[in-house]
Amino acid sequence: MQPETLEAFSRGFDAGNYGNAYEGEELSAVYNEDEGEEEYSDKERQAFRAGFVLGFFSSYEDDEIPSDEFDEFETARREWGPVAEANGIAI
pLDDT digits (tens, 9 = 90+) for 20-37: 999 998 998 898 765 655
Q: Which parts of 1-91 are beta strand (E)?
A: none
pLDDT of amino acid 14: 93
Contact assessment for residue 20 and residue 30, using Cβ atoms and an 8 Å cutoff: yes
| pTM of the predicted protein model | 0.88
pLDDT of amino acid 4: 85
pLDDT digits (tens, 9 = 90+) for 36-58: 556 888 899 999 999 999 999 99
Q: Determine the Cα–Cα distance for residues 67 and 59; give it in Å rounded to an integer.
A: 16
Three-state DSSP at 45 gives: helix
Class of residue 5 by CB neighbours under 10 A (exposed 0-12, middle 13-18, buried 19+): buried
Q: Give the percent of the chain with pLDDT over 70.
A: 92
